[in-house]
Structures are given as structure tokens and as C-alpha cells.
Chain A
Amino acid sequence: MAAHTMTSEIKPALDPVTLQILKSHFEAAAESMAYTLLRTAHSAFVKETEDFTSGLTTPCGQTFASPKDLGATWFIGLDYKGAIDAITDYRPGDICITNDPYSGYVCTHAPDVHLWMPIFEGETLVCFAVGHIHNTDMGGAVPASLSRALTEVQQEGIRIPPMKLVEAGVMNEQVLAIMLRNVRMPDQNWGDLKAQIASLKTGERKIRDAIARFGVETVCAATYGVLDLADRQARRLFASMQDGDYVFTDYIDEDSPGGVPCRLKLTVRVSGDEAVFDFTGSDPQLQSALNMPTGGLPRHILPLVGYNYVVYSLDPTVALNAGLLRPVRCILPEGSVVNPVYPAATGMRSLTCSRIQGIVVGAFSLALPDRLPAGPAGGGGILNVRTTDSRTGRLAMASINPITGGGGGWAKEDGQDGSNSFLKNTPIEITEAEVPIRVVSYELVPDSGGAGRYRGGLATQMTFKMFSPNSVVTARNRDRVRFSCWGLEGGEPGATCTFLRNPGTEREESLGNTDVVRCAPGDILMISAAGAGGWGDPFTRPVAEVMDDVAQGKVSDQGARSYGVVAVDGKLDEAATQALRTGPGERPSGLVFDPQRLAFEKIWSNEAWDHLSTRLFALPIEWRFFLKHEIFALVNADTAAEADPVAAIERAYASLLQLYPQIAPRALGEAA
């Protein structure tokens, strides 16, 4: 028996009030799913970092309801089509599973186990209940399955292609056995799977309630109606923007452990009430786990998370669902960091993804500088420690804190100090009671926020001492040691961040973006995040506000000078301030980047890197990353590079062609 008929995407329009009422019911269903999952899941990822999703999709996989304030904030509008289509025959009582980043591009790294379940009314497939949990471990080369250093997806754990985990109510024990045999903490995975199944069933129950109350026709029509509503709401935003190209570029400090920068480039082309997000010019896929798998899908959610934030921030009344993505289309070049091909590793795609969120907001801020914030902080990383109790010998492992920085300033307000996301910290008292380390300090970093009429949010810094040998501290997603974020409308960029061992001693060592540190007894680690960018010319910030920051210890006497304010021992020198503020010199305007980035771009200019990109993308995928590093080494050693970077790249490329004649020499333009 073919148990369902696919419902057509075209439905008669529902009256707007009924639609709003059903929207509440759908959200109630998605939220009830999330609470069920939160309550019954086993792993810390769910309960502490809320790294999970729950939602409802149309039969074609368009997410029409998600919980707003529960779970990960990255997946509003995730398209389940790729996974749904991989199964040909759905029956009541089926539940499907996948965690393969290369099967349908629903899952984006192996720890995320996605489930989806059809909800039928009679013969009609009404919708799917869906969701994922980030599992603590899926097997593979390293515990937790995540490391920047991994290069192939096979190293990142067992992968389950889309298949039925439960078939017509009967559990597929074989799949389960294989999965549980291959992971490090099978009890947790099993517990989390059960929680996911309970969550899907909660969604089904709530949808059944709605069907009983409103009728299946109305419910089906409303699932499409809420998507259409979000579509119209999003188009309102583009219609209010000036048509044109908005180009924004940013770098990840290292494209692999100790590597060279990774460039992320975006051109937002606004035309009428639509936009194209063109990622051409972003780096080739990497020999590290920073790749972001999207399959080149034009509305894949990962490159569009920042877009969701922008739309919602500008209009908090929008419906948060896949309809928001309809006016947008992404261009994601194949074999790039934003569309890697199998078997590139993808475990740490979150760093790339959060950097892309920043450049999306950045590109929009070029069009709407008065309505969006300057660059967000970042780079601090998530700190974990593994050490032993020196008296009992007992092993202690814990997540000790995310190291966070603030949000960018904007036209009406300073950025939020200390953090700008859903992450929560761990109380120092809990950390110290559980793990034999001593926290020396955990505070905001003065002067780390970019100066501006509206100051960027400050970074946080944590300093702590280790007591036993062989202790290991991991700091996932470290970045922004070299390049910081940007200021807007003449505001300054935030400060970069640091990671030091034994600061202020003879043994001081800078750890940069190192993500795994082995410590000796007595070692002190000091780690900070970057600060966020400021908005507007700092000299226009009222002196009283600057002095208030000085009184609060958020800006030092020295830092006040960036605002044209002279403070001595916390006291204002009015005359000197007046002189400084009215002194000669051009005041900054527009987008402001940090000096390190400007210095770097003397060689690696937009033009040079675009040229490099064209060269690299003409090569087979396997060669691109390798040759990028070779070219970087040669160009950086080329003393004439600054005079004409493009020529230097060409010189390097030519010499490499001689060295590697197996790369068939092809002229530009013949690449395809």
C-alpha cells in the first residue's frame, strides 16, 4: 500500500486571522517538542548548551514552525527535502534518521543526528515532525568527534545515511546496534535518541489536536500560509533597501592548524524585493574541519543564519520559518569552504558559520548603516579542561566556560558588553568545586570594545591556574588573534584577543589560536575573546559618556584618547580634551578595519585574492588548498610582492607549474 499522497504546494489562501491562530498552534507544537526533548534528553549538549532543534516541515521539507527561544538559533528554515526525498515510501509510524553531512545536506556535521517522522491524517501526509540533537560523541578519530585538525569526514565518526530507524512502529535494531557499537558513550546516544522520538511524538499529538479542532484542510492550508506570510514579510525588507551590490570580506586567522588566513567573501545583490548572496571569492575547501557543507543548495540555512538575524532584528514581528528564505538565492561555488565536496571534514564548520553570520550582517550594514550594528566580537572559543585531583587521583573533566565578547555598537546604543549570543557561562564556584583548578579572574577587558559614538561591547577574559601534570585544556573555535572585526560609520574595530601561558613571567608564551594545550602544575592560562566594533566617529561621543566609561573602568585613561578625551587618573582635563577634539586630521568614516588587516591587504588585496581565487578554482579540488599554501609561501617571501601583488601571484604560480607539471596548464577562461 502506498500510504500517502503528496500534498501539492499550492493551496487556497486561508483567511489571515485563522492563519494567525494556527500559527500559534504550530509554534505551540514545536515548543512542546522542544520541551519534551529538553526534559528527557541525556547529554549535556542538550541540557547545558541547548544544541538541538525541533520543528515541523511541509511534506516537501520546508520548515514552517520552530520554537523561538529553545534550542540552537541557527536552523530556522532548515530544508529537510534532501533527507525526505532519500526515502521513497512513508507510512504511519515511520521514523527516519541520518547524520551524514553528505546525504541531502540536512545534517551538517556528524555529531548532529537528525530524525524526521511523517504525520498522516488518513491517507494525507500532513507534515513532518523533525529535529536533531548534537550527540556528545559519534565515534571517529577523537573523543567528541570534533577537531580542527581532521581532514576527512570518515575521521569524524560513523555516518548513517538516510534510512528508517523505526518502520511502521518497529525499531530497526540492526542500525541501532551498529551505531551504538561505534560510539564512545552509547548510553548517552541511546538516551538522546529516545528523547528525540518522544519529542517527535509530542509534535504529532499537538498537530492531531489542531486537526481535530480546525480540520485537516485548514491545517494543511495553514502550513503553507505561514510560509507565504514570512515570504511577504521578508520581501518588505528588500523593497525598503536600495538596489545594488554590497560586498563584504572577512578572514579566519588560520585555515588549518598554524595555517594561512581563510578568506570569506560575500556579494549581496539586491534587486527589487529579492537578493542573491554570491559567495564567489571565498576560499577553496580546506584540509581541516572548518568546511561548511551546503551542497550548493541556494537556500541552505548555514550561509543564511545571519540573514535570519537581520530580518528578525529589523522586524521582530516576522514569522521565523523557511518562508523568510524565499526571496534569497545563494551562489556557493563547488569545492569551496562554503560548499565542500566529499570527503572534506566538516566537524568544526561552526567557526566558519559564525564568521559568515558576521559578514552577512556586515554586507547588510553597508546598505543600512543606520539600522544595523558594527562587527560582532568572537574568537574566544569554548573552554574544556581535563585534569586530575592531586590528592585522590580522580579524573575531572568539565566545560569551564565559553570565552565571549560583546556585540557591535549601532546608531542608538552601545553594544552589549561581554556576550552577544545564546551561550551561558559556568559559575566559577561550580567549576572550582568540581575541577581542581583555581580561577584567578573572570572579568571584562577594558578598552577592548571599538571606540565610537556608540562603543562596541567589551570582551571577557578568564585567567586560571592548573595544579596537576598532564592536564589538557582545549579551546575550540579560537580565532581573532590576528584580525579583529570592523567598526561602522567611522567607529573603530574591536581589539583582537590573546591566549597566554604564564603571563607576566619569564616563561610567558603566546598560544594564539592553539586549540589543545598540555599544562604542567602551576601553569597559569589567560584567555580572552575579541571585542566588538564601535559605531560612528568616537570624537562625537559626549565627553560625559566617555568619562562614565572611565569611571566604570570600561575605558582607561589611555583608551579615552581614542575618543578625543584626555583623562588623568580618571579625571577629565577639559582644555586638553577640547584641544584634542578640535585638532587637525581627517576623522574616519564608513567601514573601518584594523591595522593588521590593512597591513595584510597591502599584498592580499581584494584584487590579488580574487586573482588567486580564479587561479585556484581552475584547478582540480585536491590541488587548490595545497597550491594556495605554496603560493602564500612564495608571495610572502617575494620582496617585490607589495608593489604588484597580482604579478607576484603570477610569478609564484608559474614557478609552481614548473615544479608540478602534472597540473595541466590551462589558460584563464578555459577552466570549465
Chain B
Amino acid sequence: MGYRIGVDIGGTFTDFCVFDEASFALHTLKVLSRPDAPGAEVLLGLDEIERRFGIAPQEVSYFTHGSTVGVNSIIQGTGARLCLFVTEGFRDVLELARLKIPDPYDLFSRRPPPLVPRDRVIPLRERMNADGKAEIVPSEDAIVAALAQAEAAGAEGIVLAFLHSYTNPAHERLVKEAINRLRPELPVFCSADVWPIVREYERTITACIHGSVQPRVSHYIGRLEAALRERGVSAAPMITKSNGGVMTASAGKERSIEMLLSGTAAGVIGAGFVAERAGFPRVMSLDIGGTSADVALLRDGMPDFRSGELVGRYPIYLPTVSVSSIGAGGGSVASVDTLGVLRVGPESAGSTPGPACYGRGGQRATITDAFAVKGVLGAAELGYGAVNVDRARALAVIEPLAQGLARSPAATAEAVIDLAVANMYREVSRLFSQVGEEPSGYALLAFGGAGPMMGCLLAEAMGMETVIVPETPGVLAALGGLLADLRSDFVRVTFLDVDAATMPAIGQALAGLVSEARDWLHGSQSRGGQGYDGEATLTISGDMRYRGQSYEIETPIAESWITAKNDKAIIEAFHARHAEIYGHADEKAEVQLVALRVVIAGKTPKPSFPDRPVTPVEVAPEGSVTVTHRGSEIEAGLFQRRTLKPGSRFNGPAVIIQDDTTTWAPPGFSGAVDGYGNLILSKERTPWRPTP
């Protein structure tokens, strides 16, 4: 028995979730992040945990950790100085990317500058053909010359990304061996090792991002490990991943690319856990922070996965928990232009200077200020570590807007909020139409600092009837990390028609992938494995398409279909998947398997949160606050979240305050707490009732 700790380092705050394996108690903590000294906040948090909860580092039995060190080095351009070796004739693979400019209506729209500038992209005379046969083998002289050029350019690392290396990486390996021999200290990254997908830009940019962040991330993890050891934490730290899983610290040092988007991913994993336990099979998670709102769809607790998610302005193509980021957060700035048009965002006051009402120097009206003027925020003093809201400052920045719109400050505040919700409505509508689903079947799970404040408003706009606010809405990513399984993805490009003749080759590809995956999970930690001896879960899928299509659909495949050489079953599964996503299938067309994928997962021990006894009881508010709603002043009940027990029920309008967030339940919503401490807000038409 001991304590499990999950840590999520964000831009402003570092969140801690501490789970007591003996008492099942869950403690949470927030400390300010230290971008200037990454890792310092972790140690500070451990001190604070010991001081406040009396938990010594020696008692920590499991430790997970997500960090923004990698993302920040891409956004700030402080990654390693790389040289990129490419196939002669294809020097502009990064520069041209996929050609399309971000905003085609805008004559001034630009693609991001290439991650490795053209003068550090070095063409090498070599050529591998699409069928994996070597056309031109790189010569030692060519390698020596390219290396000399790279050194003259001050390379701190070299990325090798040659055409068709996904099918035969021999040339990348040969050049890597040569460089290792000539300059053993110089890090070299092969695109086929980082992520061996077909499509040269996608593979190359992924490899370059990895090469760029790996030295710094690896150094950081090493320091963290040492610091934790020094503090007496005996548990080896686990690193959260963009795919919603975790890996050992030593794997994190090698596979830094896999942790870049772990923060948002862990938040979604945490949300999925909460939603499933609360009994909601379809949930849209809404995590609103200072600058953006992150939205994900969850079915049966499982998120969607996608590749091509952005790290700063650059895409990476590893499977990542699919999260759509909307430029609307608590710090989004409102303004009125010369034609009297009100706008909210996408500009944000962020966390510094932040909303004016936080009194940290913010001078412009934000969504948070609008909620303060509306009366939802600043109703009561908050607890330890929380930001207190200065309504006078909020009013001072809303007033100029009110003049521009020729309406009262309260009406202006409502206008800012309504418009912010309308903007989110637009973005969330896109998300649902992309997947062809109707929002009405989904519940909304609101978290992050501003999610619970806006959740009901967005739910109303979307026609969703239920809003779930978890017990610890400020630290869901830290909780997600704590719950995440060991998980890793493997891919092999096959580019085969699916028929009887190709089944042996497909079988071979699968065998290779499975053995690679098992090595990762069960192999010893000293060899990059996870040293896991439990049972593995293997999920197999194919990137498939009709011949001639330019995109692939990931189709789940049963292992037995491949081992029994049942090509028909695979083809049928693809037709069905195509019909499910696009509404039609082409039974006559030839089906291709472009790539085979394996996901391996090993369950980590889960904290078991027992549900608490539910005693249905109508609770009275502790006080009341005056809130502006649709132009009139109404009295809303004021509740303290910590005094609401499982079974507590109340009717809106209500303001529910807790340390890290404020929940707004507009008129028409009622609230109830379930057996896990989740606050369930529902439209009165179909109130959610706790069952004892």
C-alpha cells in the first residue's frame, strides 16, 4: 500500500493528483509551473504534498508525469540545431510540405517556415525504389562530404529521411552506421525508426520534430529521475504519451516524440474514465483553459485517435488522442470595431496578464471578466491557492465595450458570453458533422478552469441535455495520467491488394509487428522495453482503401482473419467500415491494405474508487448571488462544492464554487451529485436523478 501520484505540467499550473491506496482518498494540488526551471515545480509539489497531506516521498508507489518541455522547445524554436539528409532531387520536402497555404482567401497567408531551413537540408546521392529495391546505394564519399557539410553548418543532430525508407530502411541505416562510426557523439535519427509511414513529408517532419526535441527531453527526464531518486521516491517515473498511454522514463528518453501532446491526451483519458464510471456512454469532453477550449468525443470511455495533430505549427503523424482545439478560453479578448461589430477571440490575454479581474495587469475585457460582471464570478472568497476575482476591475474593462455597443455593462457582458458560446457552437458543430454524429445523444463533460462556467450554455446551444462536472475538474489530466495503461503503436507499410495471393505477406508483416510490440511491452527496461509481465492486449487494424483513393480508413482486423488467411473477412470489414463512415461502400472495387497497425497495451494497476453511499436529499443554498440573465437580474443559489454530498439535489439558477473552478447552472437546469462525486446538471425536462 502506498500513494500514487499523477502530475501534469501545464503552461501556467502544474497539477497533482494523489491517490491513497489504503483509504481511496484522492488529494489534488496545483502549483505554479516553472518554465524557467522545468522539473522544479515537481519537487515543489512533492514538498507541498508532504506538508499538507503528510505523505512522504518514500511512500509513493507509482508516479506518472506529463510535461510540456518538448512542445515548448518546438513553439519557442529552441530545439536542437538539426541537419536533414534527403534523397538528391527532393531537397524541399519540408519547404513545400503539402503545398496548401493555411488560409487560401488570404493573399498574405504563409505556411510555417520549414523546421529545418533549406541551407541545412543536404541532398545525398542515393535512391531506393518504391518496391524496396536499391537503385543507387549511397557511397562512403558522398556520406563523408554530406557529414562535412553538416558539421560546417553546426549540426547538433542529423535526421535521415530518404524516399521509400518505410519499405526498405537500408540506406538510412547504412548512413547512420557510417556517421556513428565517423562521429560517435553526434545523434542520428532515421525516419524509418521514428515512425515508418508512407508519404515523405509526413514521415520527414515527424522525424525532424523528434530529432529536435529528443536531446532536451531526454536530458530533462534524466534530471527528473535523479531528483526524484534524491527525494527518496523509489517508484520509477512513468511518462504520459500522446496516445493516451504511459511508458517508462527510459523509453521516454528514446521516444521523446511520443510524449509531446500527452497533456491534452491525458485530460481526455481522465474524462473518459469519469464519463464511463458515471454511466454516460457518449460524452463530449470540454476542457476550457485560459487560451483555448479542447474538445474530444468519447464513446464508451474511448477517445478517437488521429494523426497529423499540431505541435505548435507543425504536424506529427503518430497516433494521438484526437482533440480539437478552439480559440476560445477564459482569457479570450472581446472588442468592438468601428462598425459596432462585437468580436470575442481568437486573441487571448492568456494567463499573463490574464483577465482584468484577476488583477495581474490585464487591461482588456475577457470572457472571464464578462462572467464577473454577469455576477457568476467573484460572488464569494475562494479557498487556498485560488485566484480571487475583482469585479470592479472587470466592470472597468467592460464599460468601454458597453459604450461601443450602446448598452449596459451587464447586457454587454451577456453579449460577450453569448457570442463566445455561439463561436464554440460553430466549432463543435463542425466536429460533429465531421464524424456524422448528432450532438443530442451526447452528454457534455466540462472541466478545466472555465469549462464548468460555460458548459451548460454550450450544452443548451448544442441541444445536449446533460452536463457532467467531475469532482476535481482542475486536475483531470493528472488523474488521466494516473489511470493510463502502458500503450504503444506499431506500423508497417504493406501497400498490398488484399487477396488470397497476398495473405502470406500480410501474415508475415503481422508477425513482425507483433514480435516488435511484445518486445516493447515485455522486454527489459535496459533494452528499451517496459519490463511488463502481465497480460498484453493487442489491437490490430489496417489502413485500407479502394484502389485509387488518396486516403486510408483505419479498419479493425481480427488476428484470426490473418492467421487463417481469410482475405474475404478483411475485405468485408473494410466495406462495412467504409459504409459506416461515408454512408456507402463499393463492393466491386479492389481493396488495398496500405499499412498494418498494432497497438499493444498492458494494464497498469488502477486505483479503485469505491462509489459512496447516495442519499437523495434536496439541499438549500448557502446564500444567494445576483446574476444577470437574459437582461434581468435574478437570484441564483450559491453552493460550496465540498458541502455537496452524493445524492444532494438542487435547482438552478445556481452558482457552485470550489477552489479551482466555478460552475454556472442557468435557470432550467437542476443539479445532483452522483456516487462518485460528479455534479450532474440536467435540463429540467429530463432531470438526472441519483439512484440510492
A binds B: yes
Q: Which of A232, A398, A429 contacts B166 (CB 8 A)?
A: A429
In the assembled complex, B276 has its CB within 8 A of some CB on chain A: no
The residue that A233 contacts in the complex, of B339, B342, B582, with Cβ under 8 A, is B339
Q: Is the pair B200, A433 in contact by a Cβ cutoff of 8 Å?
A: no
Contact residue among B92, B100, B117, B338 (Cβ-Cβ distance under 8 Å from A422): B100
Is A220 on the interface with B (CB-CB < 8 A)? Answer: no
B136-164 CB mask vs A (1 if < 8 Å, else 0) is 00000000000000000000000000011
A402 and B89 form a contact (CB under 8 A): no
Q: Mark A303-347, 1 if CB is under 8 A from B, else 0.
A: 000001110110011001000000000000000000000000000
In Å, the complex CA distance between A33 and B429 comes to: 10
Which residues of B have CB within 8 Å of A31?
426, 429-430, 433
The reply to whether the CB of A24 lies closer than 8 angstroms to some CB of chain B is yes
- With A35-B433, A229-B341: A422-B101 Cβ-Cβ less than 8 Å: yes
B98 at the interface (CB under 8 A from A): yes
How many residues of B are counted as interface, with CB atoms below 8 angstroms from the partner's CB atoms? 66
Also in contact, A39 and B99, with CB within 8 A (given A313-B105, A313-B107): no
Let me know if A36 is at the binding interface, CB within 8 A: yes
Q: How far is the CB of A13 from chain B (nearest CB, A)?
A: 11
Q: A32-B433, A428-B90 are contacts. A17–B405 as well, Cβ < 8 Å?
A: yes
Cα distance A404–B104 in the bound complex, in angstroms? 14
A20-B419, A31-B426 are contacts. A418–B92 as well, Cβ < 8 Å?
Answer: yes
Q: Mark A228-250, 1 if CB is under 8 A from B, else 0.
A: 01001100100000000000000
From 181 to 216 in chain A, residues with beta carbon under 8 angstroms from any chain B beta carbon are: 187, 191, 194-195, 198, 202, 206, 209, 213
Chain A residue, CB-CB nearest to B110: A416
Check if B339 sits within 8 Å of A427, measured CB to CB.
Answer: no
User: At the interface, yes or no: B551 with Cβ under 8 Å from chain A?
Assistant: yes
Asked if A443 is at the interface (CB within 8 A of a chain B CB), the reply is: yes
- Would you call B466 an interface residue if the criterion is a C-beta within 8 Å of the partner chain's C-beta atoms? no
A40 partner residues in chain B, CB cutoff 8 A: 436, 582-584
Indicate which residue in A421, A433, A440 contacts B101 across the interface (CB closer than 8 Å): A421
Cβ-defined contact, A44 with B100, below 8 A: no
Contact between A372 and B107 (Cβ–Cβ < 8 Å)?
yes
Least distance between A79 CB and chain B CB atoms (Å):
19
Q: Could you tell me the distance between the alpha carbons of A554 and B419 in the complex, rounded to whole angstroms?
A: 46
Docked CA distance A202–B92 (Å): 41
Closest to B583 in A: A40
Give A155 to B285 CA distance when docked, in angstroms.
54
Partner of A418, one of B90, B96, B103, B583: B96
Q: Are A27 and B426 in touch, CB under 8 angstroms?
A: yes
Q: Is residue B108 contacting chain A, with contact meaning CB distance below 8 A?
A: yes
**Per a CB cutoff under 8 Å, which of A308, A422, A553 touches B91?**
A553
Q: Which residues of A contact B316 (CB under 8 A)?
A: none
Query: In whole angstroms, what is the CA distance A424 to B202 when docked?
Result: 13
The distance in angstroms between the C-alpha atoms of A24 and B326, with both chains bound, is 14
- Asked, given contacts A309-B107, A372-B107, whether A432 binds B90 with beta carbons under 8 Å apart, the answer is no
Q: Could you tell me the distance in whole angstroms from the C-beta of A322 to the nearest C-beta in chain B?
A: 15
B92 contacts A444, C-beta separation under 8 Å: yes
Q: Give the docked Cα–Cα distance between A80 and B495 (Å).
A: 45
Query: Judging by beta carbons under 8 Å apart, are B339 and A443 in contact?
Result: no
Interface presence of B173 (CB below 8 A):
no
Q: B614 interface residue, CB < 8 Å from A?
A: no
Chain A residues near B99 (CB, 8 Å)? 402, 404, 418-419, 423-425
Instruction: Say yes or no: B418 contacts A17, CB within 8 Å.
Output: yes
**B430 nearest CB neighbor, chain A only:** A31
* A232–B338 CA distance with the chains assembled, in angstroms: 11
Q: Point out the residues of chain A lying under 8 angstroms from B107, CB to CB.
A: 309-310, 313, 361, 372-373, 407, 410, 420
Check B425 against A24 for contact (C-beta < 8 Å): yes
- Complex interface: chain B residues within 8 A of A548 (CB): 119
Decide: B104 and A73 in contact? CB cutoff 8 A. yes
- The reply to whether the CB of B392 lies closer than 8 angstroms to some CB of chain A is no
A413 at the interface (CB under 8 A from B): yes
B337-359: which have CB < 8 Å to A? 337-343
Partner of B581, one of A24, A39, A68: A39
**Complex contacts, A209 vs chain B, CB 8 Å:** 463
A553 to chain B: which residues have CB within 8 Å?
91, 118-119
Cβ-defined contact, B164 with A429, below 8 A: yes
- B169 CB to nearest A CB, Å: 13
Contact of B343 among A213, A317, A444 (CB under 8 A): A317
Complex: A309 Cα to B105 Cα, angstroms:
5
Q: Which chain B residues in 64-119 approach chain A with CB under 8 Å?
A: 88-92, 95-96, 98-101, 103-111, 117-119
Q: Residues of A contacting B201 with CB < 8 Å?
A: 427
- Check if A25 is an interface residue, CB within 8 A of chain B: yes
Tell me if B534 is interfacial: C-beta within 8 Å of chain A.
no
Given contacts A402-B99, A432-B130, is CB(A16)–CB(B405) below 8 Å? yes
Number of interface residues of A (CB under 8 A): 85
CB distance from B308 to the nearest CB of A (A): 13
Across-interface contacts of B95 in A (CB, < 8 A): 417-418, 444
B509-534 toward A: CB 8 Å interface, digit per residue (1/0)?
Answer: 00000000000000000000000000
Give, as a whole number of angstroms, the nearest-CB distance from B408 to chain A: 13
| Interface residue ranges of B201-230 to A (CB < 8 Å) | 201-202
The answer to whether B419 touches A21 (Cβ under 8 A) is yes
Nearest CB in chain B: distance from A159 CB, A: 27
Closest A residue by C-beta to B96? A418
Contact B583 A429 (CB under 8 A): no
| Cβ of A576 under 8 Å from chain B | no
A270 to B444, CA, bound (A): 52
- Give per-residue flags for B418-436: 1 if the beta carbon is below 8 A from chain A beta carbons, else 0: 1100110110011011101
Q: Which of A236, A419, A554 has the most CB of B within 10 A?
A: A419
* Contact of B549 with A by CB under 8 A: yes
Question: B257-313: which residues lie under 8 A (CB-CB) from chain A?
Answer: none
Q: Chain B residues with Cβ under 8 A from A27's Cβ?
A: 426
Q: How far is the CA of A444 from the CA of B95 in the complex (A)?
A: 9
Q: Does B548 contact A (CB under 8 A)?
A: yes
| A47 CA to B549 CA, complexed, in Å | 9
Is A554 a contact of B105 with CB atoms below 8 Å?
Answer: no
Does any Cβ of B come within 8 Å of A163's Cβ?
no
Q: Specify which chain B residues have a CB less than 8 angstroms from the CB of A439 in the assembled complex.
A: 89
Contact residues in A for B88 (Cβ distance below 8 Å):
441
B686 within 8 A of A: no
Shortest beta-carbon distance, A23 to chain B, in Å? Answer: 8
Residues on B with beta carbons closer than 8 Å to the beta carbon of A236: 338-339
Chain A residues 30 to 73 lying within 8 A of chain B, measured CB to CB, are 31-33, 35-36, 39-40, 42, 44, 47-48, 68-69, 73
Q: Does A313 lie within 8 Å of B90, measured CB to CB?
A: no
A654-B279 Cα distance, complex, nearest whole Å: 89
* Cβ-defined contact, A28 with B426, below 8 A: yes
Residue of B nearest to A402 (CB): B99
Q: Is A47 touching B551 in the complex (CB atoms < 8 A)? A: yes
Asked whether A429 lies within 8 Å of B92 as measured between CB atoms, the reply is no
B101, A416: Cβ atoms closer than 8 Å: yes
Contact between chains at A36 and B433 (CB < 8 Å): yes
CB of A7 within 8 Å of the partner chain: no
Judged by a CB distance under 8 angstroms, whether B199 is at the interface is yes
Encode A454-466 as 1/0 by CB contact (under 8 A) with B: 0000001001000
> B198 contacts A443, CB within 8 Å?
no
* Distance to closest chain B CB from A412 (angstroms): 8
The one of A21, A47, A206, A313 in contact with B422, judged by C-beta atoms closer than 8 angstroms, is: A21
Whether A578 is near chain B, meaning CB under 8 Å from some CB there, is no
Q: Which 8 A-B pairs have CB atoms at the shortest separation, nearest pair first?
A: A441-B89, A35-B433, A24-B422, A422-B104, A32-B433, A28-B429, A432-B130, A313-B107
11 more A-B contacts (CB under 8 A) besides A21-B419, A313-B108? A17-B418, A20-B422, A28-B425, A39-B436, A209-B463, A420-B107, A422-B100, A422-B101, A425-B99, A428-B90, A553-B91
Would you give 29 A-B contacts (Cβ < 8 Å), ordered by A? Answer: A16-B405, A25-B426, A31-B430, A69-B104, A195-B583, A209-B463, A233-B339, A236-B338, A413-B110, A416-B109, A419-B100, A422-B100, A423-B99, A423-B100, A425-B98, A425-B99, A427-B199, A428-B90, A429-B164, A429-B199, A429-B200, A430-B550, A432-B163, A432-B164, A433-B495, A460-B96, A552-B118, A552-B119, A553-B118
